[in-house]
Amino acid sequence: MRRSALVALVATALVATPQAQAAEVAPAAGTWLVSQFVPGDHLINFPGGPGDPGLTADGVYGLAAAGVGQSASAKAMAWLSANLPDFIGKGEESFTGPVAKIALAAQVQGLDARKFGGVDLIERLTELQDADGRFRDKGDPEWDESNAFTQSLAIIVLRRAALPLDKATTYLVSTQCPDGGFPIVFGEATCKSDVDATTMVLQALRNPAALAWLVKQQQADGGFPAAVGPSNANTTGLAVGALVAGGQAGAADRAVAYLRTLQVGCAGPEAQRGAIAYDSTGFEAAKAVRATAQAMLGLARVGLVDVSAASASAGVPAIECATTPPSTPPSAEPSVPAPAGPAPVDPPLAATGPDQAVPLTLFGSFAVVLGAALLFVSRRRKVGA
């Protein structure tokens, strides 16, 4: 990922490739994201809300992709470990999504997923695979939320663990829609391709027809939409990994350029700088944490199969904004119509010292919840939302 030299270059106006420019903004996003961990070890969906294990895992992936925030990620993993039964299921209950997400977080962190929190997450995951290759939740059948996301996550975890994938991938391919995309829900009377589902499937396996379908879904602004609505950071962040793996460099460049337009720069409020807005309507606290975490994967051009914290720095860069813009503007991005909403990083976010701590005065968005009692959910949340 980024090295200190790349981080230092954020303060300057560069004549650089889109890849280099993307590498510069990802650490600044990590700086903002680390400030949102409550109280330093997990992420929440809204102020005063309970800790969200899936969102916390997303944060671990994003920080690893950006190559920063390892200290925060280590605390997050300790939080996930200490509260593991509340997340993956107790007794007869066992949920594919949380098991796979937390196992993947352990793998990204270089931890042993077979000995995480006193649980063999790999064995727990394989026990959820049916004879036909589908991973299903165990417990109340009415609460089975297994879908293309959870199936793809399970395959990614097994791939990283070097375990057999034949049955799991054969089942997943069998759900493909006639137009080449993949549905989010299995077994529907009408197969409806979904962008989010297809981006996840393409991170789990190579499928030329699905890749061709995904490329066609790219919008004029370079981003990718969910089932409804305009382009958004979450879907686009995941799509970049699929595009890079499939050799679609041009489409990936346009997607990264779109993500950069969503980052709050020096013109924005101090407490929001570095964050990635969900879409072009601008920063919204309730959506920005997940949007930033998932967009960081795209900004770093890395997928879930390959992301690793092995070279991540312990801290995050301090964000410094110059009082006057640089005399030489940043080099132009690929020609993409700019959406209305937050402006690209201009003047750029200056990130200095990748191992420096973030000044406490820089962020205050969620300070009111630092002393709140943690509420742990016994049910899993939608994975990949």
pLDDT tens digits along 48-97: 889 999 999 999 999 999 999 999 999 999 999 999 999 999 999 999 99
User: Does 380 fall in a domain?
Assistant: no
User: Which candidate, 262, 290, 286, 265, places its Cα nearest to that of 276?
Assistant: 262
Tokens representing 144 are: 């089975």
* pLDDT value, residue 320: 87
For residues 338 and 381, the answer to whether their CB atoms sit within 8 Å is no
Percent of the chain with pLDDT over 90: 72
pLDDT tens digits along 247-267: 999 999 999 999 999 999 999
DSSP 225: E
Cα(240)–Cα(242) distance, integer angstroms? 5
- What phi and psi, each to the nearest 5 degrees, are found at residue 238? -75, -35
* pLDDT value, residue 24: 56
Cα(31)–Cα(36) distance, integer angstroms? 9
User: Does 57 fall in a domain?
Assistant: yes
For residue 232, give the amino acid letter.
N
pLDDT tens digits along 11-37: 222 223 333 344 458 999 999 999 999
**Per-residue pLDDT averaged across 323-330, rounded?**
46
Cα(288)–Cα(279) distance, integer angstroms? 9
Q: How many separate domains does the chain show?
A: 1
User: Does position 360 have pLDDT exceeding 60, yes or no?
Assistant: no
* pLDDT value, residue 351: 54
For residues 234 and 290, the answer to whether their CB atoms sit within 8 Å is yes
Which CATH number goes with the domain that contains 351? 1.50.10.20
User: Does 377 fall in a domain?
Assistant: no
For residues 63 and 55, the answer to whether their CB atoms sit within 8 Å is no
- Tell me the H-state helices in the chain: 4-8, 18-34, 53-66, 70-82, 84-88, 96-108, 121-126, 148-160, 166-174, 195-204, 208-216, 233-245, 249-261, 285-299
* pLDDT value, residue 2: 34
Look at residue 278 and give its three-state secondary structure.
Answer: coil
For residues 101 and 383, the answer to whether their CB atoms sit within 8 Å is yes
* pLDDT value, residue 348: 52
User: Does 83 fall in a domain?
Assistant: yes
User: Does position 334 have pLDDT exceeding 70, yes or no?
Assistant: no
User: Does 383 fall in a domain?
Assistant: no
Look at residue 123 and give its three-state secondary structure.
Answer: helix
Count CB-CB contacts under 10 A for residue 346. 15
* pLDDT value, residue 366: 29
pTM above 0.85, yes or no: no
Give the 3-state secondary structure percentages of the chain, helix then strand then coil, rounded to 5: 45, 5, 50
* pLDDT value, residue 350: 54
> Diameter of the chain by CA atoms?
64
User: Does 171 fall in a domain?
Assistant: yes
User: Does 326 fall in a domain?
Assistant: yes
Across 190-220, b (16+ Cβ under 10 Å) vs e yields ebebbbbbbbbbbbbbebeebbebbbebbbe
For residues 6 and 20, the answer to whether their CB atoms sit within 8 Å is yes
DSSP 340: S
Model confidence band, residue 376 (pLDDT cutoffs 50, 70, 90):
very low
Domain containing 28 equals 4-369
pLDDT tens digits along 101-147: 999 999 999 999 999 999 999 999 999 999 999 999 998 877 899 99
User: Does 78 fall in a domain?
Assistant: yes
Q: What mean pLDDT, rounded, does the chain reach?
A: 83
